[in-house]
Amino acid sequence: MHDIAAFRALHEARFEAEPAIFSAPGRVNLIGEHTDYAEGFVMPAAINFATLAGISPRADGKIALFSENYGQVLYFDAADLPAKATQHWTDYPLGVISILAGEGHTIPGFSLSLWGDVPLGSGLSSSAAVEVATGLAVTSLIGVDYPRPVLARLCQRAENEFVGANCGIMDQFISANGAKDHALLLDCRDLSYKLAPIPEHVELVIANTMVKHSVAGSGYTSRRADVEAACAVIASHRPEVKFLRDATLDDLKKWGGEMTPTALKRARHVITENTRTVAAAKALIDGELHELGRLMAEAHESYSKDFEASCEEADTMVALAQNLPGLIGARLTGGGFGGCTINLVEHQQANAFVQALGELYKSKTGIAPQIHICHASGGAHRIE
Ligand code: ADP
Ligand code: MG
């Protein structure tokens, strides 16, 4: 966890001003992958890895962006912000600032320090943590208090419109709205949600395959294109189907032949994943952990075979977990093509599980994984 005093001291030493400090968490998705942009359901939890943002005003009209992770500070003109991304970490905070400017806010000069312990590019959404932390810091500086779902939308737009990554709403929403000890079933159509308590005896074990994923990468983009193409075929027969959220397996039976075989498989994943996610939330709320685990296994199978968004290492990590004592359910989490698996594990067996999974994965792949026992945490907040 972060050393807030050290972070404050870093900001003060660099910028000679006392910062207001905000924290926004990363997240792990328990189930519901690539369903958010189909206006479907997801069930993430915020985790105890977070990004801190420290902010203080400046008199010179400059915006100073410092990341402790990158050991770099860059200066921009508040009155003349860059219009385009440059494939640099500053794209994320600049995206948020530029979206806020586009909302009609005058952006003053300020110094912003960032420091995160969310592993970067590992499917735990360090990008949303940076965006939401920046969004809270800057809106607080300019005296604006957006409702959390609105803040999440603005941060998502920063990633879509400025950074150029076509992500859905899940990551920013859970970072802004997470609740301690709970997962959150989010309806991505209207952003209504229901909290599902995670029982005290269940641990969130997050296992990093150490294979880098990228939401901006071609895999994610091509999956979205396939999903949209499949939806267009169904909509040509049933115009009320605006997103795959509205489609059924029966639609695929009737009109799947008009899709490419690939688009058909992608659509089958999204349609079945939506049903699974709602069922998984019910299972968690009802304490039916065996059923939850079964749904997670099915979700991984669908993600790997139909959506083809897994990778050999993630399939290995999930398969190895199945035989270990204490496992409730395991699957690849996040946008796909690498990153982390989520394992729900009985508290009593969690330490032994971590040890055994690490050793098995290392001997099978030659890669030493990072495995963390995480907790469902609250959403973004100011640190007093
Ligand atoms: P993920 O969100 O799964 O971690 P992304 O590729 O979406 O992966 O986002 C990772 C990017 O977010 C990093 O490459 C970097 O540009 C930015 N980022 C994340 N954390 C920080 C940080 N603490 N400081 C600066 N940039 C960060
Ligand atoms: Mg991301």
Residue 250, pLDDT > 80, answer yes
Integer CA distances (angstroms), 198 to 26, 47, 70, 249, in order: 17, 12, 34, 31
Intra-chain end-to-end CA distance of the chain, in Å: 16
List pLDDT tens digits, range 151-171.
999 999 999 999 999 899 999
Tell me the average pLDDT across 300-313: 97
> Are 36 and 300 in contact, with CB atoms under 8 Å apart?
no
Identity (one letter) of the amino acid at 241? V
> Are 332 and 360 in contact, with CB atoms under 8 Å apart?
no
Task: Determine the pLDDT at residue 58.
Answer: 98
Ligand 1 contact, 121 CB (< 6 A): yes
214 confidence band (pLDDT: 50, 70, 90): low
Distance from Cα 334 to the centre of ligand 2, integer Å: 9
Q: Where are the alpha helices (DSSP H) in 36-147?
A: 91-102, 126-141
217 confidence band (pLDDT: 50, 70, 90): low
Nearest Cα neighbor of 193 from 184, 201, 182 is: 184
Calculate the dihedral angle through the C-alpha atoms of 41, 46, 52, 53, rounding to the nearest 10 degrees. Answer: 30
Tell me the average pLDDT across 217-227: 87
Task: Determine the pLDDT at residue 83.
Answer: 93
Average pLDDT of the chain?
Answer: 96
Task: Determine the pLDDT at residue 284.
Answer: 98
Residue 259, pLDDT > 90, answer yes
Ligand 1 contact, 126 CB (< 6 A): yes
* Strand 110-116 relative to strand 62-67, pairing: parallel
Nearest Cα neighbor of 328 from 27, 31, 123, 26 is: 31
The second-level CATH assignment, the architecture, of 4-197 is 2-Layer Sandwich (3.30)
Residue 167 in tokens:
């992500």
Residue 246, pLDDT > 60, answer yes
Residue ranges of domains in the chain? 4-197
Task: Determine the pLDDT at residue 288.
Answer: 98
Task: Determine the pLDDT at residue 215.
Answer: 54
Helix (H) or strand (E) holding 86, with range, is none
Distance from Cα 213 to the centre of ligand 2, integer Å: 9
* Rounded Cα–Cα distance for residues 248 and 251 (Å): 5
**Percent composition of the chain: helix, strand, coil (DSSP 3-state, to 5):** 45, 25, 30
Task: Output b/e per residue, 165-200; b: 16+ Cβ within 10 A.
Answer: bebbbbbbbbbbbbbeebbbbbebeeeebbbbebee
Q: What is the pTM of this model?
A: 0.96
Integer CA distances (angstroms), 366 to 206, 316, 351, in order: 19, 12, 22
14 confidence band (pLDDT: 50, 70, 90): very high
Task: Determine the pLDDT at residue 219.
Answer: 85
The residue to mutate among 92, 211, 342, having the most atoms of ligand 1 within 8 angstroms of its beta carbon, is 92
List pLDDT tens digits, range 47-76.
999 999 999 999 999 999 999 999 999 999
List pLDDT tens digits, range 340-373.
999 999 999 999 999 999 999 999 999 999 999 9
Give me the catalytic one of 36, 91, 171, 246.
171
* Total Cβ atoms within 10 A of residue 80: 8
Residue 260 in tokens:
């490419």
List pLDDT tens digits, range 161-201.
999 998 999 999 999 999 999 999 999 999 999 999 999 99
Task: Determine the pLDDT at residue 218.
Answer: 78
Ligand 1 contact, 160 CB (< 6 A): no
Task: Determine the pLDDT at residue 221.
Answer: 85
Integer CA distances (angstroms), 117 to 27, 50, 58, in order: 12, 6, 27
What is the phi/psi pair of residue 112, to 5°? -125, 125
Task: Determine the pLDDT at residue 236.
Answer: 98
Does the annotation mark 171 as catalytic?
yes
220 confidence band (pLDDT: 50, 70, 90): confident
List pLDDT tens digits, range 269-292.
999 999 999 999 999 999 999 999
Nearest Cα neighbor of 333 from 27, 117, 118, 28 is: 28
